[in-house]
Structure 1
Amino acid sequence: MYEAVIEELNHLDGPELLAPLITDLFCGNIALVSSFGAESAVLLHMAASIDRSLPVITLDTGKLFAETIAYRAQLTRLLGLTDLRVVRPQADALRVFDGAGSLHRRDPDRCCHIRKVLPLENTLAGFKAWISGRKRYHGGLRADVPTLEQTDGRLKIDPLARFTRQQIEAYLDRYHLPRHPLLEKGYLSIGCAPCTVACGSADDPRAGRWSGLSKMECGIHRSPAPPCNSARSASDFR
């Protein structure tokens, strides 16, 4: 099934790609995953213009910027999103592996695995397709992002993969969408507060994520991390 959908729709982008997936092919079995970050308003607006009741999943790691939480509330009201699902890490997993809340300093991959990867895996279990906002111009592991791919037994959709930075900015301007408040402070890509610094450029907007480390992604767009070195694995909390 997924192969046929990919072959039929792979040439489409943006709303033209989203509409048949949301309203027909995966109606009731598709969700959008959003960080409510620097460019999130574009994809959220596209989806809301098609179906405001589309499930929107967002990960609250417990370490978000206050500005991100406020922006999430602002966009939810503005776009009329009716099914926002705020997903948090399991308390038992945090207690066992990050009781002091400092795991991000010692092992950022493990921290992301517990606070992002596992909660999202659990939440997506009931869906056949999900939408993310990756773009090729972000570079790194995203340079060749496909618009449609089959992964982990479901269809993954990146309707903005081929969009340029100029197209994103033009869309924001056209629909008068509010920018994330941290943009004016120099944050071009926004994740968890302890692991994000104010920097980046048009050529490398994600430079401020895990600055100084070889880490480039949180893990939700690649295979899960290996088990923890503990008598109990994070997978115990799935």
Structure 2
Amino acid sequence: MTALNDRPEVRTPEQGGVPLTTEPRAPREAPGVPDATAPEFTPETDPLDVIRWALGAHPDLLMPSAFNLNGVVLLDLAARAGYRGEVVFVDTGYHFPETLQTKDRLAARYPEMTFVTLNEGANPEDGQTPPDLYASDPDACCAVRKVAPLQTHLREKKLSALLNGRSRDQAATRADIPFVETGGARVKINPLAHWTRERLEAYAAEHSLPVNPLYFDGFLSVGCWTCTRAVRPGEDARAGRWAGKGKTECGLWVGESKL
């Protein structure tokens, strides 16, 4: 694991760092297609009602998570709604220590769920990828270290739907996601689609949820330390992900290998 003081220095544009970046930073795909078989949820629908419907319609439901603010709130809501399935995290070998510690705290808080870590113990020198691939080809790095392990796990599970924490205000590229989304190999359930960051923060505070401490340092969306920086005033929540690299998503939700 890389120590915190070994991370690349985060510099402002004036100091020679990457320029301020707002979404979209890559071609936008067609908006998510609402599932016509789902109830007619409205923007005011309680996420608990969406999750409870999903548990009935898709008993094999599975939740991938990177334990960002949205994911932490979704975990708590899912527990209240009766979810007892897997929570799947992909260890790329480049996660911040705070992220791994947050995962452990959540696993202890929700023992009724099964926390699964794929590629557990991965590290930059494990031979999965060249050590500098994240810089030279971030798409390829994500494809090998994050997308492929999760896709393999999901194929083995043969499940019909995923429960995830994406919301519309995270980025312009997510502005159209519906509560229940078709397209790709599985139905995507997005209970937090209409919740704002302010509402998520209020919920987390009200329920004393263990939010990744990096969030309070401006890391509103936390991925690998190699490709994540703090968000600056005026930027959206995901502007710190792959900034300056023409990339907005890891490949789990968009592209040829989307879930």
| TM-score, normalised via structure 1 length | 0.83
Quote how far apart the aligned CAs of 1:82 are: 3.0
Question: Which blocks of at least 5 consecutive residues in structure 1 are unaligned?
Answer: 226-238
Q: Which has the higher contact order (CA 8 A, sep 6+)?
A: 2
CA distance in 2, matches of 1:61, 1:81: 25
The change in CA–CA distance for 1:121 and 1:201 in structure 2 (over 3 A counts) is farther
TM-superposed CA distance for 1:88, in Å, is 2.2
CA contact (8 A) 1:38 1:190 kept: no
Does residue 106 in structure 1 map to residue 139 in structure 2?
Answer: no
- The change in CA–CA distance for 1:173 and 1:202 in structure 2 (over 3 A counts) is farther
Q: Contact 2:88–2:116 at 8 Å: present in 1 too?
A: yes
- Residue 70 of structure 2 is aligned to residue 39 of structure 1: yes
Once residues 128 and 103 of structure 2 are traced to their aligned partners in structure 1, the CA distance between those partners, rounded to angstroms, is: 28
User: Cα 1:145–1:80, aligned 2, differ >3 Å: closer, same or farther?
Assistant: same
How many angstroms does 1:183 deviate by? Answer: 1.8
Q: What does residue 150 of structure 2 align with?
A: 120
CA contact (8 A) 2:71 2:164 kept: no
- 1:173 aligns to what? 205
The correspondence for 2:221, drawn from 174, 189, 192, is 189
**Equivalent residue number for residue 157 of structure 1:** 189
**1:136 maps to amino acid:** R
- Specify the SS of the correspondent of 2:219: coil
Query: Partner amino acid for 2:244?
Result: G
Q: TM-score, normalising length from structure 2?
A: 0.76
Q: Which amino acid aligns with 1:17?
A: V
Please tell me whether residue 223 in structure 1 is matched to residue 255 in structure 2. Answer: yes
Percent identical: 34
What is the CA deviation profile of residues 5-49 of structure 1, one whole-angstrom value per residue up to 9, with x for unaligned ones? 32x254344111001211x2211x110111112332100101112
Equivalent pair of 1:137/1:203 in contact (CA under 8 Å): no
Residues 1:54 and 1:183: Cα distance change in structure 2 (over 3 Å): same
**For residues 202 and 69 of structure 1, do their structure 2 counterparts lie closer, same or farther at Cα, with a shift above 3 Å needed?**
farther
RMSD: 2.4
